[in-house]
Amino acid sequence: GCGGSGSADGAEAGTPTKGGKATYAVNVEVTSLDPAVCAVQSFDRCAPIFGTLLRYDLDKKAFVGQMAESFDTTDGKNWTLKLRSGVTFSDGTPFDAAAVAFNWDRVKDPKTLSPAARSTQGMTWKVVDPQTVAVTLDKVNYQLPWTLVRGLSAIGSPTAIQKAGADVANSPVGAGPFVLKKWTRNSQIEYTRNPTYFEPGLPYLDALTIKVIGADDQRLNALRGGEIDVDWSLLTKDARAIESTGGYQIYRVPLVGGTGLQFNLKDPVVKDEGLRRAMLMAFDSAQINNAVYPGDQPVDQLLRPGATERDDALGKFPDKNLAEAQRLFDDYLRRTGKTAETVTFTCYAGLPALEQVAQLIQSQMQQIKGLTFKLNAVDGATLSSLSTKREFQTIMGATLSQELDRLYDVFHTDGALNVMGYSNPEVDTALELSRSSGKPEEVAAAYKEVVGELSNDGPLRTWRYQTGHLYVNKKIKGITVAGTNSGAGVYWQYAWRSS
Partner 1 sequence: MTNLVQQRPGAGGSPGTALPSAPTATVPAAATPRRRRRRDIGAAFGAAWIAVVVLAAITADLLPLPDPNEVTNAFSAMPGSAGHLLGTDSIGRDVLSRIVHGARISMAVAIGATGIALVIGVTLGMLAGYFRGATDSAIGLFVNFTLAFPPLIFLIAMVTALQPGLVTLVVALALLGVPNFARVARANTIAFADREFVMAAKALGARPLRILTRELLVNVMLPIMSLALVVMATLVVAEGTLSFLGVGVPPPAPSWGGMLAAGRESLSDNPQLVLVPALFFFLTVFAFNRLGDWARGRVGRESSL
Partner 2 sequence: MTVSAAPPEANPKPRDGSKMNARALRGRAASVGRFFLLLFMVTVAVFLLLELIPGSPVDAILPQDATAEQIAEARERYGVDDPVWQRYLTWIGGVLQGDFGRSFQTGLSVSETIAERAPVSLEIALLSMIVALAVSVPVGVWSAYRPGRLLDRVSTFVISATLATPAFVLGIVLVYVFGVQLDLLPILGWTPFSENPAEHFERLVLPVLTLAAGECVLFTRLLKGDMMATLQQDHVLSARARGLPTWRILVRHALRQSSFSLVTVSGVVIGRLIGGTVLVEAIFSLPGMGTLVINAILSRDYIVVQAVVLLTALIYLLMNTLVDLTYPLLDPRVRKVRTA
The residues of the shown chain that bind partner 2, judged by CB under 8 A, are 29, 31-32, 34, 40, 110-111, 113-118, 121, 166-170, 184-188, 211-215, 218, 221-222, 224-225, 227, 379-382, 384-385, 387-388, 409, 416-417, 419
Nearer to partner 2, 360 or 419 (CB): 419
Nearer to partner 1, 92 or 214 (CB): 214
Nearer to partner 1, 164 or 286 (CB): 286
CB of 118 to partner 2, least distance (A): 4
CB of 380 to partner 2, least distance (A): 6
Nearer to partner 2, 40 or 68 (CB): 40
Nearer to partner 2, 88 or 171 (CB): 171
CB of 218 to partner 1, least distance (A): 9
Residue 359 touches which of partner 2, partner 1, none (CB < 5 to 8 A by kind)? partner 1
Nearer to partner 1, 4 or 294 (CB): 294
Alpha-carbon span 57 to 497, nearest angstrom: 22
CB of 118 to partner 1, least distance (A): 29
Query: 155 and 141 in contact (C-beta within 8 Å)?
Result: no
Residue 362 touches which of partner 1, partner 2, none (CB < 5 to 8 A by kind)? partner 1
Q: Which residues bind partner 1 (CB under 8 A)?
A: 215-217, 221, 241, 286-287, 290-292, 294, 349-353, 355-356, 358-360, 362-364, 375-379, 382
Nearer to partner 1, 75 or 379 (CB): 379
Residue 78 touches which of partner 2, partner 1, none (CB < 5 to 8 A by kind)? none
Residue 136 touches which of partner 1, partner 2, none (CB < 5 to 8 A by kind)? none
Residue 377 touches which of partner 1, partner 2, none (CB < 5 to 8 A by kind)? partner 1
